[in-house]
Structure 1
Amino acid sequence: MKFLEKEIKAPEARKIEAKLEIHNDVRIDPYFWLNDRENPEVIDYLKSENEYNEEMTAHTKDFQERLFEEMKSRIKEDDESVPYKLNGYWYITRYEKGKDYPVYSRKKDTLNAPEEVLFDVNEMAEGFDYYSLGGINVSPDNKLAAFAVDNVSRRKYTIRIKNLETGELLPEKIETTTGGSTWANDNKTLFYTRKDEKTLRSDTIFKHTLATPVEEDEVVYHEEDETFNTYVYKSKSRKYIIIGSSSTLTCEYRFLEADKPNGEFRIVQPRIRGLEYTISHYENSFYILTNKDDATNFKLMKTPVVTPDAENWTDVIPHRKDVLLEDIDIFRKYLVVSERSNGLNQIKVMAWDGSNSYFIPFDNETYTAFTGTNPDFDTEILRYTYNSMTTPTSIVDFNMDTKEKVVKKEQEVLGEDFNKNNYVSERIWATAEDGTKIPMSMVHRKDLRRDGTNPVLQYAYGSYGSTIDPYFSTVRLSLLDRGFIFVLAHVRGGEYLGRQWYENGKLLKKKNTFTDFIDCSRHLIDHNYTSPSHLYASGGSAGGLLMGAIANMAPQLYKGIIASVPFVDVVTTMLDETIPLTTGEYDEWGNPNEKEYYEYIKSYSPYDNVVAQDYPNMLITTGLHDSQVQYWEPAKWVAKLRGLKTDNNKLLFHINMDAGHGGASGRFEALKEVAEEYAFLLDLEEIAD
């Protein structure tokens, strides 16, 4: 088989030199032409890469199918969510056996009432290669539901309205939206957010009145600053319509009484660069989670609704250096605070009257706990979700009055006899080149020997302050049961160890993300978990940038790398303001129109740093319609790698010609993509069973 593979010729993209000049620096980009998706030659090249991938993986197709069936067999196919109550109805999402998409339904007053099907997405998705239904939003009188559909995977949603009493669709079709919408309390006024047709920036809030032409919808807010996005929602108290506007570093909110949709929105606190805040309404105050007064890890403040600007904000929970305040949830009797200490989630319950304050206890070295769907303001029940790398997800209803827990649902792992006691999870720490301790969460079978021969899949994201907590995965069992160790590296750029952890992995400190990951890999090798011939790395989107960086910086450490929808042409993208997301990302990566940022970004951008050297085996995936990371970034990267790499290792590129950034839309189609990735890893380990 190895001999046959060498006979299959890899595609070669034509070189057409494009000169890209800024700051008296010229970059020659021979594959710039690949960014024209209307060019038939571009489509032909992408198809040739898909054909090459098919041929190179033909010998694993049966194995991929077995892996797919194995993963699918663990999933409860006829599953349903734990019902939640809102405004007199219980809402349920369920899946039927063999079906790809959910059914959304509700029951009036009690769970014994007859089911009303709101949306059967299986029927709605018929005839479409891709179908995403989102933004379901029921009117206060329970008679209408706004919902949104994207059937291209560009995250451009069309909002429709359904009469829930007759099943009819109203004539309104509101296009190019984010999908989200909010009803005023009059049941006839709908606020929604439109996107810019080209950049897909969510920039304008409109107000629609039922039975009037969409063309006459009124603009209630337009966000002029291209680095900001805007959105609209209703407070949990249902008293206010709130418009938020935010960039990476700065926020601003406006509010309007939901009973008076034709009134004027009032501003809470005008934007100040670097001031972040969110608002939650309770009685006569807004509760404000903010970084005001150098509160790096955030603090909780409050302000009167009548005079909400920052000079009237007062502390409720002060800033703490070692605790990151992540979120709050407000109930009539309780304030619930989600915080993070030493990397671990904590949920604190505080009675408004001061009579009671306590943490919900959790036990595990590495776990994830977060508040769930809690739309009911008047309840004493807090719903939260708990899992760990060895413990399937459970959804718990916690009585804040009595402290009693009721497990409403525990994720079932079907198929072969799953026993969580066969696996062990732990947290270990690597030392970065600057002396910083970098945590890793890992899981493996208990019977594993640490002799340096174990295959390891090391995963990370490491951008935007997004924290990937240790989590349970049924599909991952297909690797663990074949001897793999799975490692989640909590590199800087996320917020695992607080806000400063994020600050130290962005802008002119971005390279910390990459060197942290590499130092974690070295720790795993030095401490006999694995060796370079058995170490694999994986990441997607901004985590795909991380994969591109480590491939250039430390290719000798890895047997294989999987990069999903990778952001790899950072300089060119960040200089192109017509591309979705670019202007809103300057506070994350820096603005390369400024020379200092240009030179720093260019020094790590994966595409700009491909050189003639040996690279690991690589599987790279993308979607033709991706609006977050354009398909041409990985396409150009693959073409450049093919032209320069000096090894005979595999370089496979799979382009989903129907999907975008999130991959396939059906739950089983998405599993096929995982099976393809796992087969790639297991094939390199010469495991075919």
Structure 2
Amino acid sequence: MTVEATPAQPTAPVAARRPVVRSHHGDDVEDRYEWLRAKEDPDVIAHLEAENAYTDARLAHLAPLRETLFQEIKGRVRETDLTVPVRQGGWWYYGRSLEGRQYGLQCRAPLASEDDWTPPRLEAGVDVPGEEVLLDGNAEAEGHEFFSLGAFSVTTDGTRLLWGVDTQGDERYTVRVKDIATGELLPDVIDGVGGGARFTPDGAFVLYSTVDDAWRPDGVWLHRVGEAGRENDVEIAHEDDEAFWIGAGFTRSRQYLVIESASNTTSEIDVIAASDLPLLLADPEAVDAVSIWDRSAKVEYSVDHAVIEGRDWLYVLHNQDALDFELIRLPADDEDAEPEVVIPHSPGTRLESVDCLRDFAIVEYRSGGIPRVGILDYATHAVREIAFDEPLYDAGSGGNPEWTQPVVRLSYGSFTTPGTVFDYDVATGELRELKQVEVLGGYDPADYGQERLWAPAGDGTEIPVSLVWKRSFGAPGEAPRPVHLYGYGSYEHSIDPGFSYARLSELDRGVVFAVAHVRGGGEMGRAWYENGKLTRKRNSFTDFVDVARFLVDRGYTSPDRMVAEGGSAGGLLMGAVANLAPELFAGVLADVPFVDALTTILDPSLPLTVIEWEEWGDPLHDADVYAYMKSYTPYENVREGVAYPRILATTSLNDTRVFYVEPAKWVARLREAGADALLKCEMVAGHGGVSGRYNAWHDRAFQLAWLLEAVGLAE
């Protein structure tokens, strides 16, 4: 591999062709670039560095615009700020951000009284009485190019803290414990564990998960606080089936341990009294666990705990004969009792979660393509929806750790409304705004408009499309405008209308931002997801293309002024639509893109592959699935003699979810076909990209500058 580059005329790297043959189901495929998977090979690192150098040289002229965009993003953010405090035990917990610092501080202050459920209003520059800084992310990150906090837990009595840190981007964490009062680090150092470690309710143990070589969570462990290392830790549950992952946590009441094994389509849950933890340590087989369904039933479900009139009840959200799920309950002391339906299945209303507190439950669900939050009355089974005024928004519960709390903490936002935190008083129905993210620089939401359109797919299905724009440029559709079209469409994950500081830089230049809510996502319920996975996966791609054509045909934009973007599984979407309809886009931005999906899903030794068979199908053992995936996988289907739009692919060397090799191979193949394709690889980062807020802003400014040039707005 050789690279010749000058500032005036950089030359693209040419990856060496080292063909290997992949043979499955009688089909032989020659792969010229599979050698790029060898992460430790100096030639691979040299090639990635050459790609970065080429991208830097090609886009050097955008440096002034990138800096302008970075300063715009930075200028909208109050850099020194505090989050809204959350009550837990005898303390209010909150975060601080400081000007010039990449990472936040985790802090707490004591309650004024036991009856105090109204969080104090904290202001930057004003001292908080009794404040303790529990963790400074900047100190933890010192000396590391990457830093991610994967666990943060305080004992119920507030005396000890644990936290987990990843400094590589591979999502394996080192957990440590300290005494808060003295600041003394305890000998506990738990290496190489998954995210989400936490204390048990009594604070005597740390509950954590391990992952196998394929990054699949495969074990649940208990570690006794005060011990060094993991030598004496006890594995209380293990999952042998490579199609399942395992995890554990405690109910909000802290009275039950919930151990869940699950695949993408099946759950198996054991509910164990927290008081039985000592027995579980001595002999896991001797503990009496409640299990609702075993995995042979192929039911997805979750379990929570409530106490009603002195009796323990298990509330179970499930999809047995209920596509969009229903909620039932049964007494915890009698798993053979006939279940009672609490919220019946209602087609088109997708029940997503139920969170049981002492006096009520929080229910989150989707209807009409909008996320909704309601309060469940234990006595009547009625659900009272918490209403919001805007037609498009994103809302959910969060920051509700206390079982006895009388209020529900909510987060809310829309394309035009900055992130807002509310407390909902369940007794009175009052919705109290606690804080709205401040947007500096004179932002006025009235300057921007948002709406939802419905674009017909080829099979007649109406695809929701969400738009936001700046009103001073006129209403969308009056004349063709630059459009930034975003999509995802996998795993039943919904892309809801939320606020973005960085997006304002596009809107203020006349770009219309749009989201195509294609099938495969969860916006319209479980059927929407089912019709965009496995052997219906092509619906995701054709939906996106149909939305793009709709926007062109209706005069919203033109192909030379539209850029498509998606990341991860949405990057697969980008690669597929670039092959299907390259003529519709001026550019395609693919972030950590899953573009060599068939190669990955054929190899069960690779991270998460076996688990993924329920999302994409099993091409290793099923010839029909193999043929179907081969028909759409972007790397397999790059077309010769086609004028591709300009393409920017971004990735990270330590990504354990979508390996860097996928976009690296894809870009090499695209260049063979004559495409203008660029690759940017972060050499110390993971699936989420760079760490640190300023680094993230620089990264987004880099992408936006490229995007703006693609739609003709780089001046």
Given that residues 350 and 367 in structure 2 are in contact (C-alpha distance below 8 angstroms), is that contact kept between their aligned partners in structure 1?
yes
Match of residue 93, structure 2, among 91, 94, 99: 91
1:355 positional shift: 9.4
Match of residue 423, structure 1, among 443, 448, 466: 448
Given that residues 490 and 529 in structure 2 are in contact (C-alpha distance below 8 angstroms), is that contact kept between their aligned partners in structure 1?
yes
Superposed structure 1 runs of 4+ greater than 4 Å apart:
none
Aligned counterpart, 2:634: 606
Q: Which runs of 5+ in 2 are unaligned?
A: 1-5, 113-119, 121-127, 280-286
Change (3 A) 1:291 1:71: same
Match of residue 150, structure 1, among 144, 151, 166: 166
* Equivalent residue runs for 1:71-470 within 5 Å: 71-110=73-112, 113-196=129-212, 198-213=213-228, 214-263=230-279, 264=287, 266-269=289-292, 270-283=294-307, 284-292=312-320, 294-308=321-335, 312-354=338-380, 357-415=383-441, 417-449=442-474, 450-470=477-497
Q: How far apart, in 2, do the equivalents of 1:655 and 1:200 lie? A: 21
SS of equivalent to 1:479: helix
Q: How far apart, in 1, do the equivalents of 2:508 and 2:413 lie? A: 19
Given that residues 567 and 592 in structure 2 are in contact (C-alpha distance below 8 angstroms), is that contact kept between their aligned partners in structure 1?
yes
Change (3 A) 1:265 1:88: farther
Q: How far apart, in 2, do the equivalents of 1:561 and 1:72 lie? A: 26
* Equivalent residue runs for 1:575-614 within 5 Å: 575-593=602-620, 594-612=622-640, 613-614=642-643
Given that residues 189 and 261 in structure 1 are in contact (C-alpha distance below 8 angstroms), is that contact kept between their aligned partners in structure 2?
no
1:229-261, Cα deviation, whole Å (9 max, x unpaired): 111111100111211111100011112222331
Aligned counterpart, 2:23: 21
Aligned counterpart, 2:526: 499
Q: Which runs of 5+ in 1 are unaligned?
A: none
Given that residues 252 and 403 in structure 2 are in contact (C-alpha distance below 8 angstroms), is that contact kept between their aligned partners in structure 1?
yes
1:98 positional shift: 1.2
Aligned counterpart, 2:535: 508
Q: Are residue 33 (structure 1) and residue 35 (structure 2) matched?
A: yes
Give 2:372's aligned amino acid: Q
Aligned counterpart, 2:646: 617
Q: How far apart, in 1, do the equivalents of 2:654 and 2:169 lie? A: 6
1:329 positional shift: 2.1
Given that residues 357 and 404 in structure 2 are in contact (C-alpha distance below 8 angstroms), is that contact kept between their aligned partners in structure 1?
yes
Given that residues 254 and 265 in structure 1 are in contact (C-alpha distance below 8 angstroms), is that contact kept between their aligned partners in structure 2?
no
Q: How far apart, in 2, do the equivalents of 1:684 and 1:572 lie? A: 31
Given that residues 562 and 711 in structure 2 are in contact (C-alpha distance below 8 angstroms), is that contact kept between their aligned partners in structure 1?
no
Given that residues 19 and 29 in structure 1 are in contact (C-alpha distance below 8 angstroms), is that contact kept between their aligned partners in structure 2?
yes
Q: How far apart, in 1, do the equivalents of 2:144 and 2:381 lie? A: 55
SS of equivalent to 2:358: coil
Q: How far apart, in 2, do the equivalents of 1:279 and 1:218 lie? A: 24
Give 2:302's aligned amino acid: T
Match of residue 50, structure 1, among 49, 52, 55: 52
Given that residues 184 and 259 in structure 1 are in contact (C-alpha distance below 8 angstroms), is that contact kept between their aligned partners in structure 2?
no
Match of residue 550, structure 1, among 570, 573, 577: 577
SS of equivalent to 1:604: coil
SS of equivalent to 1:259: helix
1:378-424, Cα deviation, whole Å (9 max, x unpaired): 12111111211111111111111111121101011012x21111110
1:336 positional shift: 2.3
Q: How far apart, in 1, do the equivalents of 2:272 and 2:178 lie? A: 26
Given that residues 462 and 542 in structure 1 are in contact (C-alpha distance below 8 angstroms), is that contact kept between their aligned partners in structure 2?
yes
Q: How far apart, in 1, do the equivalents of 2:198 and 2:174 lie? A: 15
Q: How far apart, in 2, do the equivalents of 1:600 and 1:138 lie? A: 49
Given that residues 185 and 259 in structure 1 are in contact (C-alpha distance below 8 angstroms), is that contact kept between their aligned partners in structure 2?
no
Give the length in aligned residue pairs: 680
Q: How far apart, in 2, do the equivalents of 1:428 and 1:590 lie? A: 32
Q: Are residue 537 (structure 1) and residue 568 (structure 2) matched?
A: no
Q: How far apart, in 2, do the equivalents of 1:166 and 1:469 lie? A: 44
Given that residues 449 and 471 in structure 2 are in contact (C-alpha distance below 8 angstroms), is that contact kept between their aligned partners in structure 1?
yes
Q: How far apart, in 1, do the equivalents of 2:37 and 2:288 lie? A: 42
Given that residues 144 and 161 in structure 1 are in contact (C-alpha distance below 8 angstroms), is that contact kept between their aligned partners in structure 2?
yes
Q: How far apart, in 1, do the equivalents of 2:540 and 2:62 lie? A: 33
Q: How far apart, in 1, do the equivalents of 2:482 and 2:8 lie? A: 25
Given that residues 184 and 241 in structure 1 are in contact (C-alpha distance below 8 angstroms), is that contact kept between their aligned partners in structure 2?
no
SS of equivalent to 1:71: helix
1:265 positional shift: 6.0
Given that residues 568 and 633 in structure 1 are in contact (C-alpha distance below 8 angstroms), is that contact kept between their aligned partners in structure 2?
yes
1:421-441, Cα deviation, whole Å (9 max, x unpaired): 111000001000110000000
Q: How far apart, in 1, do the equivalents of 2:671 and 2:297 lie? A: 44
Q: How far apart, in 2, do the equivalents of 1:276 and 1:448 lie? A: 47
Give 1:481's aligned amino acid: D
Given that residues 429 and 439 in structure 1 are in contact (C-alpha distance below 8 angstroms), is that contact kept between their aligned partners in structure 2?
yes
Q: How far apart, in 2, do the equivalents of 1:232 and 1:102 lie? A: 27
Q: How far apart, in 1, do the equivalents of 2:496 and 2:253 lie? A: 30
Match of residue 633, structure 1, among 647, 659, 662: 662
Match of residue 595, structure 2, among 568, 582, 589: 568
Give 1:653's aligned amino acid: L
Give 1:282's aligned amino acid: A
Given that residues 286 and 308 in structure 1 are in contact (C-alpha distance below 8 angstroms), is that contact kept between their aligned partners in structure 2?
no
Scaled by the length of structure 2, what TM-score is found?
0.93
Aligned counterpart, 2:283: none
1:561-614, Cα deviation, whole Å (9 max, x unpaired): 000000011111001112111111010000111111111111100000012121
Given that residues 586 and 711 in structure 2 are in contact (C-alpha distance below 8 angstroms), is that contact kept between their aligned partners in structure 1?
no
SS of equivalent to 1:619: strand
Aligned counterpart, 2:711: 685
Q: How far apart, in 1, do the equivalents of 2:250 and 2:105 lie? A: 25
1:357 positional shift: 4.8
Given that residues 451 and 530 in structure 1 are in contact (C-alpha distance below 8 angstroms), is that contact kept between their aligned partners in structure 2?
no
Given that residues 343 and 381 in structure 2 are in contact (C-alpha distance below 8 angstroms), is that contact kept between their aligned partners in structure 1?
no
Given that residues 304 and 312 in structure 1 are in contact (C-alpha distance below 8 angstroms), is that contact kept between their aligned partners in structure 2?
no
Given that residues 561 and 712 in structure 2 are in contact (C-alpha distance below 8 angstroms), is that contact kept between their aligned partners in structure 1?
no
Given that residues 452 and 531 in structure 1 are in contact (C-alpha distance below 8 angstroms), is that contact kept between their aligned partners in structure 2?
no
SS of equivalent to 1:219: strand
1:326 positional shift: 1.3
Given that residues 623 and 655 in structure 1 are in contact (C-alpha distance below 8 angstroms), is that contact kept between their aligned partners in structure 2?
yes
Given that residues 332 and 378 in structure 1 are in contact (C-alpha distance below 8 angstroms), is that contact kept between their aligned partners in structure 2?
yes
Q: How far apart, in 1, do the equivalents of 2:563 and 2:315 lie? A: 45
Give 1:597's aligned amino acid: V
1:179 positional shift: 2.5
Q: How far apart, in 1, do the equivalents of 2:10 and 2:129 lie? A: 62
Give 1:374's aligned amino acid: N
Given that residues 535 and 558 in structure 1 are in contact (C-alpha distance below 8 angstroms), is that contact kept between their aligned partners in structure 2?
yes
Q: How far apart, in 1, do the equivalents of 2:215 and 2:63 lie? A: 37
Give 1:46's aligned amino acid: L
SS of equivalent to 1:224: coil
Aligned counterpart, 2:124: none
Given that residues 342 and 381 in structure 2 are in contact (C-alpha distance below 8 angstroms), is that contact kept between their aligned partners in structure 1?
no
Q: How far apart, in 2, do the equivalents of 1:386 and 1:143 lie? A: 32
1:503 positional shift: 0.2
Aligned-CA RMSD value: 1.6
Given that residues 493 and 510 in structure 1 are in contact (C-alpha distance below 8 angstroms), is that contact kept between their aligned partners in structure 2?
yes
SS of equivalent to 1:193: strand
Q: How far apart, in 2, do the equivalents of 1:187 and 1:358 lie? A: 36
